[in-house]
Amino acid sequence: MPDAPPRPEPFAQQTAPAVLEDLRARLRATRWPDAPEDAGWALGTDLAYLRELVAYWAQEFDWPAREAALARLPRFRVPLRGLGTHFVHVRASAPAGPVLPLVLGHGWPDSFWRYTKVVPLLTDPGAHGADPADAFDVVVPDMPGYGHSDRPIGPAPDAVAVAGLWADLMSVLGYTRFGVAGGDLGSHVSRYLALDHPDRVVAVHRMDAGLPVFTGDPADLTPEERTWLEGAARWGAAEGAYAAMHRTKPQTAAFGLTDSPAGLAAWIVEKLRAWSDCDGDVERSFTKDEILTNITLYWLTGTIGSSMRMYRANAAIPAAQHARRVEVPSGFSLFPGDVVRPPRAWLERTANVVRVSEPARGGHFAPFEEPELYAEELRAFFRPYRSAATG
């Protein structure tokens, strides 16, 4: 007899008080580095801001309350290809037409946290001033080595492999055809879902096109594309040290970041600030509680090392994979505060583009920074493809 399909089991988390006391003790015992006078954020995370954040984490941050808020989302775990996979699954509430299943892909440094604000806007649009006909069934998985999904024992899976896991997950949930959306690493995963499962993906929405990989003749590129590639290279030289570490020696950084909550906070909050549409003030995009919810998830699950190792796996993806063109209908929302924004010519070179928009606000973490804008982007893009998932 064939093996029975895996069955999702409800997931609930309740952190033991002793674990939180250990965290607070470590925070209180932080050994602080020096910093040049008036360095601010120019050399990395600002010392004065991190002292403030760590003091709040140790003395005021209410993790049990944040944990209870996260528990209001229906969450599950299921074994996929030998890896326990954690995901949020919320069905449409009071739909007024065909319901489109939608899988949302997160990136680094986050997890399902990225979409916690946007899930209710997508599953119950009528309750939030939008058209009930735009309701989705929403699935938000944690990638292997992130959040509450298992940390792989062997090499981390790359974006191609994760796309295959998400196709399996949607089968387990009974969805034959579905939409896909994502940003950052989740954009790569979404791309490979569309490339490798075009019979199942009705349309794909992405917030970026990733950092460019081009092995052809530069003369074949438009001037705008050449300018973009040059700009991306400059960004990598100035801002890409974290990614070089992740790609090459992630285990070295993992020792310190897994042992020191202050170090972990420094590694993550600098990116929340640099990549969001906050004009240099991270708390314009995220409250301290929101920042620390994301960081505490990393701390409690011990996943900073495993999350970084995915960069090494992705760096080994063959160039031929990067050269493939997505033929599934593709949409892009390019938020103004994101790090590297591609020109239309590059998008059309790499995908069957049917819609490109430039929202007025938001950055790399737009689903969290501007959930209403992001939800409307997805509603507008996927509206013509709803019947394709049920027809």
H, E, C per residue of 177-220: CEEEEECCHHHHHHHHHHHHCCCCEEEEEECCCCCCCCCCCHHH
194 neighbors 204 (Cβ within 8 angstroms): yes
Query: What is the 8-class DSSP label of residue 43?
Result: T
182 neighbors 107 (Cβ within 8 angstroms): yes
Q: Report the DSSP pairing between strands 201-206 and 326-333.
A: parallel
Three-class SS of residue 105? strand
Q: In what helix (H) or strand (E) does residue 78 lie, and over which residues does it extend?
A: strand 75-80
Q: Does 192 participate in catalysis according to the annotation? A: no
373 neighbors 362 (Cβ within 8 angstroms): yes
Cα–Cα distances (Å) from 24 to 30, 264, 265, 299, in that order, read: 10, 14, 13, 12
* C-alpha span between 239 and 234 (Å, rounded): 8
Annotated active-site residue in 124, 184, 277, 338: 184
Q: Nearest Cα to 228, choosing from 209, 253, 252?
A: 209
> 332 — phi, psi (to 5°)?
-135, 135
Annotated active-site residue in 86, 137, 364, 385: 364
30 neighbors 263 (Cβ within 8 angstroms): no
Q: Does 197 participate in catalysis according to the annotation? A: no
Annotated active-site residue in 115, 242, 311, 385: 311
Burial letters 261-293, b for 16+ CB under 10 A, else e: bbbbbbbbbbbbbbbbbbeeebeebbebbbbbb
Q: Does 205 participate in catalysis according to the annotation? A: no
* C-alpha span between 84 and 145 (Å, rounded): 10
Active-site amino acid positions: 184, 311, 364
